[in-house]
Amino acid sequence: MDKSSLLHSLKEEVANGYRFLFANAWSGYMAGILIAVLALMILLWNGMWGISGGYRNWGNWFYYLIGLGTERPLTPWMDPHSVTNLAIFAGALASALLSRQFSVRRAPRREYAKGMIGGILMGAGAALAGGCNVGGFYSAIGVFSMGGYTMMFGLGLGAWMGLKVLLWEMEHLPATAVCTIEDEGNRRWSAVWQSFQPAAGIVLLLFMIIAVYLYGAVDQALVGGLLIFGLLIGVVMHRSRFCFVRAFRDPFMTGEAEMVKVVSLSLMVYGLGSAVIKWNYIQPDTMGVFHPFWLGSLLGGTIFGLGMLLAGGCASSTLWRLAEGHTKLGITLISFALTNAAAMRFIESYDIRHYLGKGLYLPGVFSWQLGIPLFMAILLLWTLMAAWNEKTEKLVIF
């Protein structure tokens, strides 16, 4: 083919674009900004972005099907949070396939036990805090719910506790390994599967695009929009390895501050965009402000933080890492969903929420004029503390 032809030029540009998107790792800072923009789109489209609500829908369905629930939950493909979660999983799976990074990854037996315990703790913590690391921390702070700050402190405390547990495990329990058998047949099949993955990823993306149009055809464009946003979040998280756990684990484990800076930047973009939306009453100013300040968010955040260290993933990274083939996170997802659904029923049945606190709106307490500078100051302080710790390692315990 003539190298000066239009067709050759187009093929070259497509190949370069493919390598840029699915061969090279994405910048964490770029990912943080993109996730904030997508979270703002979800806020405008439907409401505050969260993940534990989708897990709870799946757990409620399990209890309903075995006769422990009287009220039929929304179907998973119609529940907004469930659809967003499914789309994040699908987007991450498509990204893993297109980048030839999907592989079924087994873990030692003890890791599966830790994944289950971590999922139970995260499910219970999310029920107490009114959300997970996304809905109870990231989006809560982004929409100026003061419970987000107490959950943030709790996540840090829980991560510190989780690292202590992992240190004890390393010192007192023997290391275990996964037994794998490699032969010529397995290697040949692996090579074939590697070459087939991009085509499978394209088929999955096409299927999701068709699903968006089908939602529109049955007057469910709202759900179809969430499918698009979730799909994009899944791709961004997978390509950048975006993980909230690192923002709370790394300062205590290695002293690294990069993920703290990434999450802080992302929250600044999210919060300032949210201020425009809420201050101008494009959405109700108290939308998403329900996180129990302060006891529920602090206690729930601490339990959740401990759980995410044991599981090796939070609510969001469980989805994209499972899509990548990490089987341990499948156990985490199941235990999270079942525990969160049961814990929410328990809390509501015995009116425990009343004792955990109530939602407080930062501008409602301090005014917009003081609330926005306070919002920025807290994030800057978190970033500066992480940068100081990176240099001095004063908080490193590993």
Instruction: Report pLDDT digits (tens) over 271-301.
Output: 999 999 999 999 999 999 999 999 999 999 9
Domain assignment of residue 66, yes or no: yes
Q: Is residue 398 part of a domain?
A: no
CB within 8 A of 323, min separation 6: which ones? 89, 90, 92, 93, 95, 96, 102, 234, 238
What's the whole-model pTM score? Answer: 0.94
User: Can you list the pairs that 214-222 forms with residues at least 24 positions away whose Cβ atoms lie under 8 Å?
Assistant: 220/78, 222/45, 222/46, 222/80
- Per-residue pLDDT of 93-125, as tens digits, reads 999 999 999 999 999 999 999 999 999 999 999
Q: Average pLDDT, whole number, for the chain?
A: 94
Q: CA torsion sign, 301 to 345 to 337 to 42?
A: negative
The tally of domains found in the chain comes to 1
- Evaluate whether residue 380 is within a structural domain: yes
Contact of 107 with 331, CB cutoff 8 Å? no
Whether residue 12 is contained in a domain is answered as no
Sign of CA dihedral 115, 120, 126, 129: negative
| Whether 74 contacts 80, CB under 8 Å | no
- Asked whether 235 and 94 are in contact (CB, 8 A), the reply is yes
Is 20 part of a structural domain of the chain? no
Can you tell me the distance from the alpha carbon of 269 to that of 251, in angstroms, rounded to the nearest whole number?
Answer: 23
Q: Is residue 4 part of a domain?
A: no
pLDDT digits (tens, 9 = 90+) for 27-78: 999 999 999 999 999 999 999 999 999 999 999 999 999 999 888 999 999 9
Residue 116 inside a domain? The answer is: yes
Is residue 261 in some structural domain? yes
In this structure, the number of other CB atoms found within 10 A of the CB of residue 108 comes to: 14
By CB neighbour count within 10 A (0-12 exposed, 13-18 middle, 19+ buried), where does 170 fall?
A: exposed
User: How would you class 46 by CB atoms within 10 Å of its CB: exposed for 0-12, middle for 13-18, buried for 19 or more?
Assistant: middle
**Residue 11 pLDDT exceeds 90:** no
Among candidate residues 263, 254, 248, 265, the one with its CA nearest the CA of residue 125: 248
What pLDDT shows up at residue 184?
60
Q: What is the pLDDT of residue 180?
A: 57
CA distance 256 to 14: 36
Residue (of 255, 351, 247, 223) closest to 35 by Cα position: 247
**CA dihedral (371, 372, 374, 379) positive or negative:** positive
**Residues recorded for the chain:** 398
d(CA 159, CA 25): 26
Domain span holding position 94: 27-179+194-392
Q: Give the pLDDT confidence score for residue 305 in this predicted structure.
A: 98
Pairwise CA distance, residues 230 & 90, whole Å: 8
Cα(20)–Cα(41) distance, rounded to whole angstroms? 25
Identify residue 186 by its one-letter amino acid code: N
Nearest partner of 123 among 54, 50, 49, 56, judged by Cα: 56
Residue 137: Cβ within 10 Å count: 34
